[in-house]
Structure 1
Amino acid sequence: MKKNVLIIGAGGVAQVAAYKAAMHNDVLGDIHIASRTMSKCEALVAGILDKKALKRPGILAAHQLDAMDVEATKALIRRTKSQIVLNAGSSFLNMSVLRACIDTGVAYIDTAIHEDPTKVCETPPWYGNYEWKQREECERKGVTAILGAGFDPGVVNAYAALAANAYFDRIESIDIIDVNAGSHGRYFATNFDPEINFREFTGTVWSWQERQWTANKMFEVKRTDDLPVVGSHTTYLTGHDEVHSLSANLDVPNIRFWMGFGEHYINVFTVLNTLGLLSEKPVVTAEGLEVVPLKVVKAVLPDPMSLAPDYAGKTFIGDLVKGVRDGVETELLVYNVADHEEAFAETNSQAISYTAGVPAIAAAMLIARGEWDCHRMVNVEELPPVPFIDLLGKIGLPTRIRDDKGDRTFDPKEFAERRTPPERIARVSGT
């Protein structure tokens, strides 16, 4: 059993994670929040105390930390006696924080794949470029490292594992659909770090089709679906983290990720990109100043955390899975709908951050309880999905199921027994 959580980061996802950790400190123990900007951590602590979110009296502390400094991170882990570390900050930090966790022997969780700030859209599978290179060391040292434990990646991986393990005999395709049907009222903004957000859409769109990597351009391929609650939406084929692990860990020939964009977003993005303002490469101004265009755009756009008070509407994220069950072609939709205003009322955050932060704390709770303390590096689909999905429903993100029997609330009893033989699932861990 592991106790005491160190949350690295003080943005929207970290804020949700900190609030939720406080609400479950009877399971998680002491809660520590660390970031380069001490004032942001202190503001998070003050907000949690103001809402009286702590389930029981306990330590809730703020710390200043440059998480790129591995030795400083290791020292903070030891000083706070943290046994679970959640990187809810920039994905540029993943490998530094992971190294600190491996060296101190504590559990590691992140919510997105590692990125090198000097590179955009590397060769697939992306996890193979960084995180998976540390798998052998994690297993040798017995270190639990759970990769991509947000919603997408994260919960959608668990949905895929649920379909593969306990529903289908054979899966032909998994289409992950992410739609934000809410509105923040600003002319233009991104829902999380603009630098990370734009980098997703300026490179090659990689998808897994017919058991091979397929390249497309952003906004080249689209589809329209009639979705529960949010209605009909057009989404675009997009490169995303979970495709790179699911394609290796599940025996599925077609895995794609689709994200919804409004015409206004596409128009503004296209102009910025065409003008070179989304480039991560430095340029020199007429005055001799060296600037990175993408960082300038980030600086002038609204802080994603500032959007929360005015956000209204809902989000939809789910897996549309097609395959064969009992000899019959079958379709299954596993999904969640979250509400921006409800997320703000509970955690002072919008639903985009809420859907990423809550699953990370669910993963931490399962590690603390021992259910997910696997002593090796894994992606979420390699872990038992039912306890995770069930716990999510209890702490704020309920799952629904839609198939030929209708649309219903997820019931763990329905998926209690494994359907697919273990040998049908190719795990990269070799187990």
Structure 2
Amino acid sequence: MKQNVLIIGAGGVAQVVAHKCAQNNDLFGDLHIASRTKSKCDAIIDSVHEKDAMKEKGTFEAHALDAMDVAATAALIRETDAGIVINVGSAFVNKYVLDACIETGAAYIDTAIHEEPDKICEAPPWYGNYEWKKRDLCAEKGVTAILGAGFDPGVVNAYARFAIDRMDEVKSIDIVDINAGSHGKYFATNFDPEINFREFTGTVYYWEDQTWKELSMFESGKTWDLPVVGPSKAYQSGHDEVHSLATNYPQADVRFWMGFGDHYINVFTVLKNLGLLSEQPVKLAEGQEVVPLKVVKAVLPDPSSLAPDYTGKTCIGDLVRGTKDGEEVEIFVYNVADHKEAYEEVGSQGISYTAGVPPVAAAILIAQGEWDTKTMKNVEELDPKPFFTVLDRLGLPTRMQIGGLGGEDKAWNA
């Protein structure tokens, strides 16, 4: 029996999820989307119908929901008879939506680690602070929960597993995320500014020599010469997938690198030094209390508004080093996505596309039984090959270079 799907969130990533669910609704039941602002959900559904994206005739309904209200979320899951919940709302709602899924038995998928609004960069491993505390309960109740099933985290976790499966021993995993596109704005973030900035204002945690180590943001950088996008400067950043990969592969060094241009770094540094990226409230002279980070978010362009004028490509991949038959080996597993092509297909830019396609692939695998784990899993704990097969079909093909960057380039299943 086909399972109904409830999408939570109404941003650029949710738009991609909605379109991809519609394009594959022959594998699902009824589709539903919910957010605090129902009109945003209505607009996404309208865009689905404008592009005639529904593969088969079917229901696609919008709902208003405060996803931090566990009882309301559980009630909506029951009302819609949703068997799969794709949570692409703010990371602030994760633990609440997960609780609602545990209460109702619906499968849960998210794309990031839960965050608390008043806390930045808690002690590692970050998954251990919230999600993993519910792992035993998921197993006890037979609830499928796939954590971090976006691109990074998500697909890059699967890339790591795929490369490691081809080795006898893994020594290091370097995840590299380069956006070589241009949105034409003076300054903007590619997804929720509040979440984006929080990633880079705290400590950079990475895993090396089987222990957690720390850096400051932009302290460690290097140039990576990646397929299609070419040489690009990237900096070590704290990121979700480092925390689960370090737990599942403790013998490997695990680092995350993200590309930044000088202009972004300059503006970011000014905002941070002025205290405008703080998550803590301040009182104005007139007596009002505001959170500086929320004020910055309010004046920046909405990430979803960037899509029409976005050009260029992204390249995201894993360089994995290890040994095979006593010899040193390197494998780079990656994807290249195009901003303009993403907009033409689903009305979102490439960053949203790469984040939104994978949770739909995960939902398809749950619906088909291959990833219906009846417990909580991070993506690297699952067989990556079915995932890659679906991603290939949905528009995010996986390639690899044997021998490391610049090595023999071929499809993952060649």
Q: TM-score, normalised by structure 2?
A: 0.98
1:37 matched to 2:29? The reply is: no
1:251 is displaced (CA, Å) by: 4.3
1:332-371 aligned within 5 A: 332-371=331-370
* Aligned counterpart, 1:272: 271
1:325 is displaced (CA, Å) by: 1.4
State how far apart, in whole Å, the 1-side matches of 2:250 and 2:73 are.
38
Aligned partner of 2:393: which letter? K
1:405-420 aligned within 5 A: 406-411=408-413
1:162-201 aligned within 5 A: 162-165=162-165, 167-201=166-200
C-alpha contact 2:164 2:320 (8 A) present in aligned 1: no
SS of 1:248's equivalent in the other structure is helix
SS of 1:83's equivalent in the other structure is strand
* Aligned counterpart, 1:113: 113
Q: Relative to structure 2, which stretch is displaced further, 216-225 or 321-330? A: 321-330
C-alpha contact 1:2 1:370 (8 A) present in aligned 2: no
1:322 matched to 2:331? The reply is: no
* Aligned counterpart, 2:213: 214
* Aligned counterpart, 1:422: none
Aligned partner of 2:37: which letter? T
1:228 matched to 2:230? The reply is: no
Gaps of 5+ in 1: 415-431
CA distances 1:260-294 after superposition (whole Å, capped 9, x unpaired): 00000000000000000000111111111111000
1:252 is displaced (CA, Å) by: 3.4
SS of 1:206's equivalent in the other structure is strand
State how far apart, in whole Å, the 2-side matches of 1:171 and 1:155 are.
18
1:253 is displaced (CA, Å) by: 2.4
Aligned length: 411
CA distances 1:216-274 after superposition (whole Å, capped 9, x unpaired): 00000011111100000110000000000001112432000000000000000000000
SS of 2:27's equivalent in the other structure is helix
State how far apart, in whole Å, the 1-side matches of 2:89 and 2:55 are.
24
C-alpha contact 1:323 1:331 (8 A) present in aligned 2: yes
State how far apart, in whole Å, the 1-side matches of 2:311 and 2:251 are.
36
C-alpha contact 1:2 1:367 (8 A) present in aligned 2: no
1:317 is displaced (CA, Å) by: 0.4
1:153 matched to 2:179? The reply is: no
CA distances 1:33-69 after superposition (whole Å, capped 9, x unpaired): 0001011000011110111000000011111111111
1:399 is displaced (CA, Å) by: 0.6
SS of 1:26's equivalent in the other structure is coil
Aligned partner of 1:64: which letter? A
* Aligned counterpart, 1:306: 305
* Aligned counterpart, 2:402: 403
Aligned partner of 2:106: which letter? V
State how far apart, in whole Å, the 2-side matches of 1:325 and 1:54 are.
46
* Aligned counterpart, 2:23: 23
State how far apart, in whole Å, the 2-side matches of 1:252 and 1:67 are.
38
SS of 2:97's equivalent in the other structure is helix
State how far apart, in whole Å, the 1-side matches of 2:381 and 2:8 are.
24
Gaps of 5+ in 2: none
- The list of structure 1 runs, each at least 4 consecutive aligned residues, that deviate by more than 6 angstroms after superposition, is none
Among the aligned pairs, what percent are the same residue? Answer: 66
SS of 1:287's equivalent in the other structure is coil
Aligned partner of 1:409: which letter? A
1:285 matched to 2:284? The reply is: yes
State how far apart, in whole Å, the 2-side matches of 1:370 and 1:168 are.
28
CA distances 1:3-62 after superposition (whole Å, capped 9, x unpaired): 110000000111100000000001122110000101100001111011100000001111
Q: TM-score, normalised by structure 1?
A: 0.94
State how far apart, in whole Å, the 2-side matches of 1:240 and 1:14 are.
21
C-alpha contact 1:2 1:84 (8 A) present in aligned 2: no
1:255 matched to 2:254? The reply is: yes
State how far apart, in whole Å, the 1-side matches of 2:81 and 2:251 are.
41
Aligned partner of 2:379: which letter? V
CA distances 1:151-193 after superposition (whole Å, capped 9, x unpaired): 000000001111122x111111100000000000000000000
1:139 is displaced (CA, Å) by: 0.1
SS of 2:26's equivalent in the other structure is helix
